[in-house]
A and B are shown apart, each in its own frame.
Chain A
Amino acid sequence: MADLFLTAAVLGTLLILLASGIWIGAAMLATGLVAFLFTSAPAGSLLASSVWEASWGWALTAMPLFVWMGEILFRTKLSESMFHGLAPWLERIPGRLLHVNILGCGVMAAICGSSAVTCATIGRISIPELKRRGYDEGMAIGTLAGSGTLGLLIPPSIMMIVYGVTAQVSISELFFAGFLPGAMVIGLFMAYTAGWALLNPGRVPVSDRSFTFVQKLRASQKLIPVALLIAVVVASIYSGVATPTEAAALGIVGALGLAIATRTLARDMLIDSLLATVRTSCMIGFLLSGAAFVTVAMGFTGLPQTLAAWVDGFALSQGQFIIAMTMLFVILGCFLDGISMLVLTAPVVLPMARAQGIDLLWFGIYIVLVVEMAQITPPVGFNLYVLQSLTGKNIARVTMATFPFFFLLCIGVLLIWYFPGIVSVLPASMRG
């Protein structure tokens, strides 16, 4: 009974504050304080110490560093070359340049941790190009909105760093766990696009050009240094030469080198990139502070254990638990962005997942996939906003065009459920 009251108070506070538009980090601080009313522990002093503890971990240092690396690379104008660099390679595949959206986002994803930004950066160039060449608009929208979400799954991923810090799972392992699922999603998207193109031959314009291998290389020469840089960063983590944090620092050096090589490095550019980094990492820092306090408050109330026991009472199988979680996340995902959704639910959901005996590494990749779905569900779905602004179509039309890709992500979840090896093979090989 007391627990019911506590649950209602905590959930009520959170929902009212969130709905009234209070900054999510602040709403979590308030929620924690309300939870502490039900205990005799000193809330204020625990607020200070938990927020402090949460903000200086070694693992978290990777977050601003990867953000900064992305910010520098952005400003080297490489995204401008993405379309023309990739297009010549994809002329022969059914669906042709639609695949540029998918692979372009995949490459962009390896630089940047955000889904909407991945989507906007690629889409800004590719949507006008595809339109000019007479491609089907629905597919142009769908491939872009869907593939933009890869930013979260393909390392480096800010989402994975936040999850790793919250769930105390190795970030290196999460990064490598994300690789094959990332490739799997790219594969699913490309297969769907190719299949669609074969079924609708009239809606894909005919190829008007052919390229020799040398021409292809020349077209994508600007992408090669970036690809090498990403490969070096990733390889240095995988081979153990560097921890993710150290790899990020090396990535920054590489990105600065690239900026010098492309003559885009300037004082203003450097300051802009740093201030953008500050904005993103402080935004996440505020969320994490709130989450740390809620976690401690929950620990004192014992609510997560009660809830976990309650869920246990239903004697759900792991599969049923995952189905229930997926429904919860899909609903939440209609209203919240990914990182907020993750940090808001983590204090309660992670103990439950642990109690269900679910591997937290696998669960991390699962959550990233579900958060990807949230990016393309209305009304709050950032990738949808992006496509709306890019195409001028209304949100309903954009959502309809994107729906097949939401469905493909669901298939992705099913695949990692039935073949957990997709997630675990690479991290296990890294352990030696």
Chain B
Amino acid sequence: MKDSIRAALDRFYRCCGLISAIFVVLMTLAILGQIISRLPFVDVVFDAVEISGFCLAASLFLGLAYTLKVGAHIRVGLLVGVLPTRAKRWVELWCTSVAAALTAYASYHAALMNLDSWKFGDLSAGLAAIPLWVPQLAMTFGLIALTIAFLDEFFLVLSGRPVEFRDSEALDVEEILKAPAPLKPRNA
């Protein structure tokens, strides 16, 4: 039971990451579309400004939870890094619970705003006239997923997982340095 929940959660985060990645691709395609539509022999008016912006938002929010779980969100680990193990555990419980509370609060208000946009039928100002609640749904959903991820971290620490304070750039560099040639380095 416990294992299947764990597996389901991990699949969920990775799915979020992959969907976020798909929106990066869609955004690229939209912008390429705009470049093509502007060529002299193509007679289409295609405005990617709003669509690519909405893809960006979807990508940024939907990938938050995945980014947390791979340890890429930035934090200052320097000061707590030197604490003894027991103290580190308490600090990590404090960090994850505060972060979960904050993102839960943010999710709640994002949902309210999302609901308002839907109720009032807000449309984007550009030529595409996209109902705003659609892209905003990605924000609500992404923030909820991030809240779940923080709670998940909280319970993992509570159940005894070792605590490490690291940051994304250190993580990247570690990976580049460890990688056998041919490398698979990461950007930051």
Q: A: which residues have CB within 8 A of B? A: 17-26, 29-30, 33, 44-45, 47-49, 51-52, 55-58, 60-61, 64-65, 67-68, 70-71, 74-75, 77, 79-80, 112-114, 116-117, 120-121, 124, 242, 245-246, 248-250, 252-253, 271-272, 274-283, 285-287, 335-337, 339-340, 379-380, 382, 385-386, 389-390
Those of B22-40 within 8 Å (CB) of chain A: 24-25, 27-28, 31-32, 34-35
Q: For A277, give its contact among B21, B78, B79, B102 (CB under 8 Å).
A: B21
**Once the chains bind, are A280 and B27 in contact (CB under 8 Å)?**
no
* A25 to B59 alpha-carbon distance, docked (Å): 17
Q: For B183, give its contact among A29, A67, A124, A245 (CB under 8 Å).
A: A124
Q: For B60, give its contact among A19, A33, A55, A120 (CB under 8 Å).
A: A55
**Once the chains bind, are B21 and A385 in contact (CB under 8 Å)?**
no
* A68 to B182 alpha-carbon distance, docked (Å): 19
**Once the chains bind, are A120 and B176 in contact (CB under 8 Å)?**
yes
Main SS of the interface on chain A?
A: helix
Range, interface on chain B:
35 or more
* Between-chain CB contacts (< 8 Å), 17 pairs: A20-B80, A23-B75, A26-B102, A45-B109, A60-B56, A71-B187, A116-B188, A117-B173, A120-B176, A277-B21, A278-B59, A280-B72, A280-B168, A282-B67, A282-B73, A287-B74, A382-B170
Residues of A within 8 A of B165 (CB): 21
Greatest chain A CB density within 10 A among B32, B61, B80 is at B61
* A113 to B187 alpha-carbon distance, docked (Å): 7
Residues of A within 8 A of B152 (CB): none
B1-9, B46-54, B154-162 - the one binding chain A: B46-54
Greatest chain B CB density within 10 A among A60, A113, A279, A379 is at A279
**Once the chains bind, are B109 and A44 in contact (CB under 8 Å)?**
yes
Query: How far, in Å, is A342 (CB) from chain B's closest CB?
Result: 12
**Once the chains bind, are B31 and A65 in contact (CB under 8 Å)?**
yes
**Once the chains bind, are B113 and A20 in contact (CB under 8 Å)?**
no
Q: B: which residues have CB within 8 A of A? A: 17-18, 20-21, 24-25, 27-28, 31-32, 34-35, 49, 52-57, 59-61, 63-64, 66-68, 70, 72-80, 91-92, 94-95, 98-99, 102-103, 105-106, 108-110, 112-113, 135-136, 139, 165, 167-170, 172-174, 176-177, 181-188
* A176 to B70 alpha-carbon distance, docked (Å): 34
Residues of A within 8 A of B24 (CB): 64-65, 68, 274, 277-278, 281
**Once the chains bind, are A52 and B54 in contact (CB under 8 Å)?**
no
Residues of A within 8 A of B184 (CB): 74-75, 272
* A21 to B73 alpha-carbon distance, docked (Å): 11
**Once the chains bind, are A67 and B169 in contact (CB under 8 Å)?**
no
**Once the chains bind, are B70 and A279 in contact (CB under 8 Å)?**
yes
Query: How far, in Å, is A27 (CB) from chain B's closest CB?
Result: 8
* A21 to B187 alpha-carbon distance, docked (Å): 23
* A33 to B101 alpha-carbon distance, docked (Å): 12
Q: For A275, give its contact among B17, B102, B139, B174 (CB under 8 Å).
A: B17
**Once the chains bind, are B186 and A117 in contact (CB under 8 Å)?**
yes
